[in-house]
């Protein structure tokens, strides 16, 4: 999607299939400005865009927040995954956790005019086997009505030592497309079970230690369990030739339980003391949005405008049980003390987020230059596209007071950078996808200027991406920095095989 404001890259279901991607994080990691910052085997999929965190719960469905699972999200039910880098709030409104670097939006699959019956088998090391189904039909006058059904079941031994994983997903998408009116209904169920361990986070008492084996499991016996059910109704009506009105209403129920570690502080030699937590929780959300969008021209300048309102209500609860401390080593982990499941979680949180969006994107020079709050240059020649973006984003930051060990709103984090993306077809059957990102992340206006000019935590200066294959040579490495001083272990080498056939 080149004809879009801000800096946006869209990844299709075909790309996800070609790369054998399992989750949204696998797909968006093709962008040099996007990073998954949790280790493999962790139930959630937190990310960074342009050096700022985006929670897995901040991923929207057709611009609607709060209706997707907060854990790792399978890609089977989506036709397109969009990464919008920049002031995403001007397009989709405020995200639940207020991420400022950008946003991720998914577009669900719809039935095409041609009937589809597709089955697929997959394998991922160590021994995970999966079955996928994708069925689509249209019917009625002018094929106005459509139904698309997707299903997934996979289970087996994961790449982490001693851990197994099971995933289930089923979705149904109904849609109606009339001359001016379009309606859709999306319903899904998603389940995820991880048993026998969790991904490795670590902090360090001194210098950063060499990474242990990428298959290391620090919490043998730990598990996580997620169940999500969601429903989204959407309608859109064209007003004349240059405007449209839209509205959406969605609901989600989440139930979760499992174990987490604190992120042990590893001393010289890798020894640490830790205590696991047992967590049980639930969340119910209701989300709605409505608005108008259109286009007009003033002379040689074209305008794309959007006005919208959104509201997200969420309530939930969490119960936590703390286990006893145990000693271990990141290079030779021993048994972990896993606490029993806590009592039924009480209702302890409720929040309502409301936002209003008004945006106007100006385009000129045959739409190669677009102006919103920043600038974007676009050049397309033949089958290869190049995009170049420059940005500056500032956000209040939390810093740790050395005297009190308390985090407070102290200062600002300013990220300046440039990013180049390239994608297209070099020749029939050979496609190119990659990019380069440069980010300078600094702390400003800290108390008494103590940390002014220091590099912000966890933001790489350079990142280069070409294709989507990781760790071909099976190296052990720290894959990313995770928020408050923790490093996440990188993924081990994995082998993926898949076969798909249409009937």
State the CATH number of the domain containing residue 284: 2.40.170.20
Q: Is residue 217 part of a domain?
A: yes
Work out the end-to-end distance of the chain between its first and last CA atoms, rounded to an integer number of angstroms.
30
In a domain, 147, yes or no: yes
User: How far, in Å, are 126, 152, 157, 259 from residue 131 at the CA level?
Assistant: 16, 6, 15, 28
Q: Can the peptide bond before residue 126 be classed as cis, meaning omega within 30 degrees of 0?
A: yes
Residue 1 belongs to some domain of the structure: no
Q: What are the CA-CA distances from residue 176 to residues 115, 183, 278, 284 (Å)?
A: 16, 5, 45, 28
pLDDT tens digit sequence for 121-170: 999 988 899 999 999 999 999 999 999 999 999 999 988 888 899 999 99
pLDDT tens digit sequence for 95-127: 777 788 888 999 999 999 999 999 999 999 888
| 488 CB neighbour count, 10 Å cutoff | 24
Query: How far is it, in rounded angstroms, from Cα 444 to Cα 455?
Result: 10
Pairing status of strand 78-85 against strand 7-12: antiparallel
Over range 179-184, report the average pLDDT: 96
- With 60 as the cut, is the pLDDT of residue 74 above it? yes
Only one residue has tokens 């929670």, namely: 55
Cβ pair 58, 65 in contact under 8 A: yes
| Per-residue pLDDT, 1 | 43
Question: Would you say residue 390 lies in a domain?
Answer: yes
Angstrom distances, CA of residue 385 to CA of 15, 95, 348, 449, 469: 16, 30, 49, 44, 22
Cα distances (angstroms) measured from residue 6 to each of 55, 122, 380, 418: 21, 36, 16, 14
| Cα(227)–Cα(170) distance, integer angstroms | 12
Contact 21, 97 (CB under 8 A): no
Give me the number of domains the chain comprises. Answer: 1
Q: What is the DSSP letter of 331?
A: S
Q: Across-strand partners of 151?
A: 133, 170
Average pLDDT over residues 381-404: 73
Highest mean pLDDT: which range of 287-296, 397-406, 458-467:
287-296
Closest CA to 209 of 155, 251, 272: 272
pLDDT in tens, 263-310: 788 898 999 988 888 999 999 999 999 999 998 888 788 888 888 899
Domain that holds residue 377: 7-502
* Pairwise CA distance, residues 385 & 242, whole Å: 27
Residue 2 included in any domain: no
pLDDT beyond 90 at 367: no
* Helices and strands (H and E) in the chain: how many: 3, 30
Mean pLDDT of 487-493: 87
Please tell me the distance from the alpha carbon of residue 363 to that of residue 297, in angstroms, as a whole number: 9
Can you point out the beta strands (E) in 78-126? 78-85, 102-108, 116-124
Q: Which residue has the tokens 């409104």?
A: 93
CA 457/CA 367 separation, integer angstroms: 37
pLDDT of residue 378: 43
Q: Assess if residue 226 is contained within a domain.
A: yes
pTM of the predicted model, to two decimals? 0.85
Is residue 467 included in any domain, yes or no? yes
Is residue 37 left, alpha or beta, with left meaning phi > 0 and alpha meaning psi from -120 to 50?
Answer: alpha
The answer to whether residue 133 is domain-embedded is yes
Question: Rounded to 5 degrees, what angle do the CA atoms 188, 17, 201 make?
Answer: 75
If pLDDT is split at 50, 70 and 90, which confidence band does 375 have? Answer: very low
């Amino acid at each position: 999607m080149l004809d879009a404001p801000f800096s946006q890259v869209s990844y299709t279901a075909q790309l996800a299939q070609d790369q054998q991607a399992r989750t949204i994080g696998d797909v968006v990691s093709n962008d040099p400005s996007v990073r998954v910052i949790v280790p493999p085997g962790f139930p959630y999929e937190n990310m960074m865009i342009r050096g700022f965190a985006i929670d897995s719960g901040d991923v929207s469905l057709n611009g609607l927040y709060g209706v997707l699972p907060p854990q790792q999200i399978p890609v089977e039910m989506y036709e397109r995954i969009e990464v919008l880098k920049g002031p995403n709030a001007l397009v989709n409104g405020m995200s639940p956790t207020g991420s400022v670097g950008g946003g991720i939006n998914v577009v669900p699959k719809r039935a095409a005019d041609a009937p589809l019956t597709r089955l697929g088998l997959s394998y991922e090391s160590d021994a995970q086997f999966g079955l996928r189904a994708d069925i689509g039909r249209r019917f009625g006058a002018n094929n106005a009505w459509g139904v698309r059904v997707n299903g997934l079941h996979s289970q087996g031994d994961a790449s982490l030592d001693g851990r197994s994983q099971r995933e289930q997903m089923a979705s149904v998408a109904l849609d109606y497309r009339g001359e001016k009116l379009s309606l859709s209904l999306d319903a899904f169920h998603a389940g995820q079970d991880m048993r026998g361990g969790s991904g490795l986070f670590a902090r360090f008492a001194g210098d950063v230690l060499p990474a242990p084996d990428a298959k290391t499991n620090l919490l043998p016996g730990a598990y996580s369990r997620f169940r999500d059910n969601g429903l989204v109704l959407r309608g859109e009506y064209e007003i004349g030739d240059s405007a449209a009105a839209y509205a959406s209403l969605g609901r989600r129920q989440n139930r979760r339980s499992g174990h987490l570690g604190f992120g042990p502080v590893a001393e010289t030699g890798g020894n640490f003391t830790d205590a696991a937590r047992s967590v049980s929780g639930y969340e119910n959300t209701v989300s709605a949005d409505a608005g108008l969008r259109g286009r007009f021209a003033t002379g040689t300048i074209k305008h794309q405008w959007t006005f919208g309102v959104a509201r997200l209500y969420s309530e939930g609860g969490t119960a936590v049980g703390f286990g006893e401390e145990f000693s271990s080593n990141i290079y030779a982990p021993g048994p972990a003390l896993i606490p029993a499941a806590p009592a039924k979680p009480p209702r302890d949180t409720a929040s309502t987020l409301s936002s209003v969006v008004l945006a106007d994107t100006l385009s000129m020079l045959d739409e190669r230059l677009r102006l919103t709050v920043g600038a974007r240059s676009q050049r397309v020649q033949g089958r290869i596209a190049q995009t170049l973006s420059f940005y500056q984003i500032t956000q209040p930051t939390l810093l740790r007071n050395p005297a009190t060990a308390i985090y407070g709103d102290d200062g600002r984090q300013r990220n300046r950078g440039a990013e180049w993306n390239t994608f297209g077809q070099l020749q029939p059957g050979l496609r190119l996808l990659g990019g380069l990102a440069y980010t300078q992340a600094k702390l400003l206006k800290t108390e008494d200027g103590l940390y002014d000019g220091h590099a912000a935590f966890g933001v790489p200066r350079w990142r280069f991406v070409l294709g989507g294959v990781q760790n071909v040579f099976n190296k052990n490495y720290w894959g990313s920095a995770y928020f408050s001083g923790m490093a996440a272990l990188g993924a081990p080498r994995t082998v993926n095989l898949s076969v798909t056939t249409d009937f």
